[in-house]
Amino acid sequence: MAFFLETLLGGLMAGMLYSLVALGFVLIYKASGVFNFAQGAMVLFAALAMARFSEWIPIYTGMDNIYVANLLAFIGAGAIMFGVAWLIERLALRHLVNQEGTTLLMATLGISYFLDGIGQTIFGSDIYKIDIGMPKDPILAFESVFEGGVMINKEDLYAALIAAVLVGLLTLFFQKTVTGRALRAVADDHQAAQSIGIPLNRIWFIVWCVAGVVALVAGMIWGSKLGVQFSLTTVALRALPVVILGGLT
């Protein structure tokens, strides 16, 4: 029974981690009605930016506080992802308003290849480590119930809690805010949304910014677990079952 609980809890926490990546798919789909094939590349690009900034900041500033350095690195990487969102909206999506879904789908494929290439060019292709200070040692729970207890990985537990909080915040954003409802309206019908005064370009920029921040959080956590490398894009593929089970809407 202890082994069953350990496996069950491990699976639940892993599912929460994959939900971070799945959120990016859902966000873009809600805004454009298109499956975003660039999500894996966004996770990798954000993780590369975070890893390199967390490496450069202590070197060039002499800062030895890992938490402050990581906070500054997160802010810097977030600014980079906002810039990426602005470029995507200006150079790609703005010219694809009211186009067929297939056209937008192919655009996300092009964005994916672009982010892969530019990420490798700017940040390099080595394997980097992100140390965000989360404990990696396991804890034993239910020791009074089961002999030897149930082993739970602290890092997975904290990461799952972060994912749960982010999912909750985004749910409130889509359900309770004017911008969130506008995003849903745009996903249902671009032309109808424009006809009632919803600024399509601004909505797409906002949703790509939010998706970029989600990708950054996912890349930070997965980079801490697995290291930041170009195989990190496959995490998006492994998140597809979460998307299918949870739905895109």
- For residue 76, the model assigns a pLDDT of 93
In a domain, 11, yes or no: no
Looking at per-residue pLDDT, the higher value among 213 and 192 belongs to 213
Q: Give the DSSP H/E element, type plus range, for residue 152.
A: strand 150-153
Res. 97 pLDDT band, cuts 50 70 90: low
Lowest mean pLDDT among 12-21, 44-53, 111-120, 181-190: 181-190
Decide if pLDDT at 143 tops 80: no
Lowest mean pLDDT among 33-37, 44-48, 171-175: 33-37
Lowest mean pLDDT among 98-102, 111-115, 226-230: 98-102
- For residue 249, the model assigns a pLDDT of 60
Res. 248 pLDDT band, cuts 50 70 90: low
- For residue 233, the model assigns a pLDDT of 80
In a domain, 247, yes or no: no
Domain range enclosing 177? 17-241
Q: Give the DSSP H/E element, type plus range, for residue 140.
A: strand 138-141
- For residue 35, the model assigns a pLDDT of 77
Decide if pLDDT at 80 tops 90: yes
> How far is 98 from 185, CA to CA, in rounded Å?
14
In a domain, 93, yes or no: yes
Parallel, antiparallel, or unpaired: how do β-strands 138-141 and 150-153 relate? antiparallel
In a domain, 171, yes or no: yes
> How far is 34 from 231, CA to CA, in rounded Å?
24
pLDDT mean across residues, the chain:
81
- Token pair, residue 33, equals 């009605």
In a domain, 129, yes or no: yes
Task: State which amino acid sits at residue 200.
Answer: L
Mean pLDDT of 155-170: 84
What are the b/e assignments for 186-217, b being 16+ CB within 10 Å? bbeebeebbeeebebeebbbbbbbbbbbbbbb
Decide if pLDDT at 79 tops 90: yes
Looking at per-residue pLDDT, the higher value among 241 and 42 belongs to 42
In a domain, 7, yes or no: no
Res. 209 pLDDT band, cuts 50 70 90: confident
Number of domains forming the structure of the chain: 1
In a domain, 61, yes or no: yes
In a domain, 63, yes or no: yes
